[in-house]
Amino acid sequence: MKKIIKAAVLGCTGYTGLKLIEILNKHPNVIIKFLGSESYSGEHINKFDSKLKNVSLPKLNLIKNINFSEVDVVFFALPSNVSQSIIKDHFGKSIFIDLSADFRFDNSINYKNTYKIKHQCPSFLKNFVYGLPEINYKIIQKSKNIALPGCYPTSVLLPLIPLLENRLILSKNIIIDSK
């Protein structure tokens, strides 16, 4: 018998959060226990996506009300620089999967150079695995903290990594123009 995974989705009313809920809700081994939203606490998720109209899910709740001991995995579908403040105070309490850009880099210098702001908990950056399963599948399986790449990095890395690893192209003249 497969283990049932109890999940929480923080930032559930945006595009990414809604798509994630749709996917998780179809998974036979996942139960969504908590839906976090700072702006729409007390509302039903079906207000934001008609595909969730006849789905039984918890009402939206303030993120501060999550009980980490009641969930196995927390998905962060929050704007960049928001996941950090929550993870900083609750690191290690659940499996964390961050869909924002907050933990994609393994050091705070790269983070600051890219996003022009200081990371709130730089000591945790090395605890996150870059969650591109086509490349890091085995490492992801063992990790409790996963930082998902965005759509642009995924669209670039999936074709480039095998070409570079097999020395079919050189890295020095690669130009990427994503739209």
Identified catalytic residue from 1, 151, 170, 175 = 151
- The span from the CA of 62 to the CA of 143, in Å, is 27
Active site residue 12: no
For residue 149, give both structure tokens: 């790449």
Q: Give the three-class secondary structure for 128.
A: coil
Beta bridge partners of 161: none
| Helix/strand/coil (H/E/C) assignment for every residue in 65-105 | HCCHHHCCEEEECCCCCCHHHHHHHHCCCCEEEECCCCCCC
**Cα(77)–Cα(3) distance, rounded to whole angstroms?**
24
Task: Give the residue among 127, 10, 3, 129 at the shortest CA–CA distance from 67.
Answer: 10
Sign, Cα dihedral of 55, 56, 60, 63 = negative
- Give me the residues paired with residue 31 across strands: 6
DSSP bridge partners of 130 = 147
* Residues acting as catalytic residues: 151
